[in-house]
Chain A
Amino acid sequence: MTGRDDLTDDPAVDLADDLLALLLRIGDDHLILGHRLSEWCGHAPMLEEDLALPNMALDLIGTARMCYGYAAEIEGGGRSEDDYAFLRDGTDFRHMLMAERPNGDFAHTMLRQFLFAAWMHPLWDGLTGAPDARLADHAGKAVKEMAYHIRHSGEWVIRLGDGTTESAHRMRAALDDLVPYIGEMFESDDTAARLVAAGLLPDPTTVRAAFDSTVARTFTMAQLPPLEISTGISGGRAGRHGEVLGHLLVEMQFMQRAYPGLTW
Chain B
Amino acid sequence: MSDDAKNPKPENPVSQNLMPLWEVFIRPRTGLAHSHVGSVHASDEVMAVQAARDVYTRRGEGVSIWVVPSASITASDPDQRDENFEPTASKIYRHPSFYDIPDDVGHM
B6 to chain A, nearest CB (A): 10
Q: In the complex, what distance in Å separates the CA atom of A165 from the CA atom of B40?
A: 25
Taking CB atoms, residues of chain B closer than 8 Å to A47 are: 41, 55
Q: In the complex, what distance in Å separates the CA atom of A215 from the CA atom of B7?
A: 28
Q: In the complex, what distance in Å separates the CA atom of A249 from the CA atom of B59?
A: 30
Q: In the complex, what distance in Å separates the CA atom of A55 from the CA atom of B10?
A: 27
Of B14, B46, B47, B50, the most chain A CB neighbours within 10 A belong to B50
Q: Mark B1-20, 1 if CB is under 8 A from A, else 0.
A: 10000010010001000010
Q: In the complex, what distance in Å separates the CA atom of A48 from the CA atom of B24?
A: 13
The interface stretch among A7-15, A94-102, A151-159, A177-185 is A151-159
Check B47 against A159 for contact (C-beta < 8 Å): yes
Given A55-B54, A55-B58, A151-B50, the answer on whether A46 and B14 have CB atoms closer than 8 Å is: yes
Check A46 against B19 for contact (C-beta < 8 Å): yes
Q: Check: B51 CB closer than 8 A to any chain A CB.
A: yes
Q: Mark A37-51, 1 if CB is under 8 A from B, else 0.
A: 000000000111101
Q: Which chain A residues in 7-61 approach chain B with CB under 8 Å?
A: 46-49, 51-52, 55
Q: Which B-chain residue is minimally distant from A53 (CB atoms)? A: B54
A-B contacts, CB under 8 A, total: 34
Given A55-B58, A155-B46, the answer on whether A48 and B51 have CB atoms closer than 8 Å is: yes
Check A164 against B54 for contact (C-beta < 8 Å): no
Check A46 against B10 for contact (C-beta < 8 Å): no
Q: Mark A126-165, 1 if CB is under 8 A from B, else 0.
A: 0000000000000000000000000110010001000010
Q: Check: B43 CB closer than 8 A to any chain A CB.
A: yes
Check A152 against B55 for contact (C-beta < 8 Å): no
Taking CB atoms, residues of chain B closer than 8 Å to A55 are: 54, 58
Contacts A46-B41, A52-B51, A159-B43 supplied; 8 other A-B pairs, CB < 8 Å:
A46-B14, A48-B41, A48-B51, A49-B51, A52-B50, A52-B54, A152-B50, A164-B10
16 contacts between A and B (CB under 8 A): A46-B14, A46-B41, A47-B41, A47-B55, A48-B42, A51-B54, A52-B51, A55-B58, A155-B46, A155-B47, A155-B50, A159-B43, A159-B47, A164-B10, A169-B1, A169-B7
Q: Which A residues contact B (CB, under 8 angstroms)?
A: 46-49, 51-52, 55, 151-152, 155, 159, 164, 166, 169
